Amino acid sequence: MTAPERSLRADARRNREAVLDAAGELFARRGDAVQMDEIAERAGLGVGTLYRHFADKQALLAAIIGRRFEAMATLARAADEAEDPWTAFETLLYGYLESAQADSAFRFALLGPEEPRWNDIATEKTDFSAITERIVRRAVDAGRLREDFRADDFVLITRGAMANMTDAAGWRRHLTLVLEGIRRPER
């Protein structure tokens, strides 16, 4: 649960979740063409209720990303428990992308025409980034990833794969090609 959600009353929290669910569905289907009043209608709420939670479309997109990053931090923590550094890296990478494949609103929010408002979801992004950094560092230190690989490269790889999610085979092939280029052979 994000920080703004923790301080809400139960009914306000339900309304916020309804807006996020409706927005996710509509953004996934129609991208940036979705209007705020359509989202409110789909959520079964008034436009005023929607705007009490989200000042504009960018704030709503940031919340969609924040929601996914919370789930990704949980996945990353589980991947970080793998003893083998390459297994931890690969588990995180595939888990992240499989989750993104199932959430086209998240992909739209990350890859869409508007830069996300990261300050709106700083905590969620920081948690995920810290674990990703640790996993990447472990794999590099163990000689399983190229010495010059950084956590920022994880972002490049995932965005490239997400851009190829027109079908399941496309992004997986993309990822296979990338992994062959960054993985160091076992010694």
Task: Please give the CATH architecture assigned to the domain spanning 1-54.
Answer: Orthogonal Bundle (1.10)
Superfamily per CATH, domain 63-187: Tetracycline Repressor, domain 2 (1.10.357.10)
Q: Where in the chain is the domain with CATH 1.10.10.60?
A: 1-54
Dist CA 41 CA 62 (whole Å):
20
Q: What is the spatial distance between Cα 100 and Cα 154, in angstroms, rounded to a whole number?
A: 14
Does residue 8 register a pLDDT over 70?
Answer: no
Token pair, residue 65, equals 């990303």
pTM: 0.78
Q: Among 145, 118, 117, which residue's Cα sits nearest to residue 129?
A: 118
Residue with tokens 């996993």: 135
> Which DSSP string do the residues of 23-56 spell out, in sequence order?
HHHHHHHHGGG--HHHHHHHHTS-HHHHHHH-SS
The interaxial angle of helices 57-80 and 104-111, nearest 10 deg, is 110
pLDDT tens for 64-109 read 888 888 889 999 999 999 999 999 999 999 999 998 888 888 888 8
Task: Look over the chain and give the mean of its residue pLDDT values, rounded to a whole number.
Answer: 87
Residue intervals in the chain for CATH 1.10.357.10: 63-187
CA neighbor of 151 nearest in space, from 165, 168, 135:
135
Instruction: Give 124-146 pLDDT, tens digit per residue.
Output: 888 999 999 999 999 999 999 99
C-alpha span between 76 and 59 (Å, rounded): 25
